[in-house]
Structure 1
Amino acid sequence: MSTRSRAVLLGAMAAAAALTLSACGKGGTSGGGGNTNFVTGNNGIDTVAAGQRAAAPDLSGQTIDGKSLDVADYKGQVVVINVWGSWCGPCREEATYFSKVSKQYAGKGVQFVGINTRDTSTTPAVNFEKEHGIGYPSLYDPTGKLMLRFEKGTLNPQLIPSTLVIDRHGKVAARALEALDDTSLLKMLKPVLAEK
């Protein structure tokens, strides 16, 4: 392979990786091919029927305040996962809504967990949570390793922000690849919470 061809290939790979892991936008399309078993709604929320859901991967590690956290410990509850970065404008837009809904559903079988990614230290992440009144824990994932644990072709987080709803059985039920307000967030959460 020539030096020029190698440079073009490496540039294309870097661009694809940058779009996948550090995009900070208002939406996107799902990856993977074949029958993924999920349906994209016209509201930007992808959903999967209960019998066809993929298990959430291992989402564990240190939080931005240095504590250990394993999302699997919340099995039996509905878990809302929000992937965010303190540097992300749309993340700032939705943070107040996530704070509001997490407080509204505290003690009602719902646990919110953030995944802070692409911040080079925890200081801006901690300040972001204080500024926006976020009271739930956030895993610290500066390199995006937790995002990469989701299998291709499943409801995986592909942009920042991304939001996932994990059902009581630890399976991914819904995903949004855009900033959400409280109304949109509740459209994702309520159907999964209503499941028995």
Structure 2
Amino acid sequence: MVLTACSAPTEGGADGQGGVGFQSGDGAFTIVPADKRVEAPVLEGPTVDGGTASTADLAGKIIIVNVWGSWCAPCRAEAPELVKADAELDDDVAFLGVNTRDLDVAPARAFERSFGLTYPSIYDPNGKLLLGFGQLPPKAIPSTVVIDADGKVAARVLGEVNATTLAGIVDDVRGA
């Protein structure tokens, strides 16, 4: 599973969304060796479109978790790449978004429609769901976390990601 997040400006950011604790990502990624991986938290909750989603429902798949906000310029830039990767990667890979720092769900819904997101996003305005990632926290927005088929945190990208990078990370996770 991959988790991607968008970063708001740090301390007292001008985004009006309370960007404290988040930083801009530079696209750096980390792959965790299979023997060093820890259990990923279960992410579940209401989705931006009014449904519900849970990583527990995706057990046995590699999960790409993308953390984003509608106000985040790098999130807007990477959204088409995530849709492309979702279409190109095999059925053993699932995508799940986590919308954060949007204090109203309406801008998040507009973002999903505008970019044609093909996967659900959990609405997590306060970022509480992200607290469970101790080993590799998604501390930038956007951030992407990849969870392996065994439910363990396998990789993290801090900042904008593209379809080619995601495909390479998934191949590395499968090969571990």
Find the aligned partners of 1:142 and 1:161 in 2 and give their Cα distance.
Answer: 14
Cα deviation, residue 52, structure 1: 1.2
1:170 is the counterpart of 2:151 = yes
Higher relative contact order (CA 8 A, sep 6+): 2
Residue among 152, 155, 161 paired with 1:180: 161
Deviations 1:136-192 (A, max 9, x none): 0000000010111222xx011001100011000110000000101222222222212
Indicate the residue corresponding to 2:62 in structure 1.
78
The runs of at least 4 aligned residues of structure 1 exceeding 3 Å deviation read: none
* Matched-pair identity in %: 42
Map of 2:109 onto structure 1: 126
Q: Residue in 2 aligned with 1:56?
A: 40
User: Cα RMSD (Å) of the superposition?
Assistant: 1.8
**Which has the larger Rg?**
1
Return 5+ residue gaps in structure 2 as ranges. Answer: 1-10, 13-17
- Is the Cα contact below 8 Å between 1:78 and 1:110 reproduced in 2? yes
1:19 to partner: Cα distance: 4.2
Matching residue's letter, 1:131 = S
Counterpart in the other structure of 2:25: 26
Shift of 1:69: 1.2
Q: What's the TM-score, normalizing by structure 2? A: 0.85
Question: Is structure 2 residue 127 aligned with structure 1 residue 141?
Answer: no
1:2-31 deviation per Cα after TM superposition (whole angstroms, max 9, x unaligned): xxxxxxxxxxxx76x94424x3x233xxxx
Amino acid at match of 2:157: A
TM-score (norm 1): 0.76
Structure ranking higher in helix proportion: 1
How many residues align structurally? 161
Question: Which position in structure 1 is the counterpart of 2:5?
Answer: none
Aligned to 1:91: 75
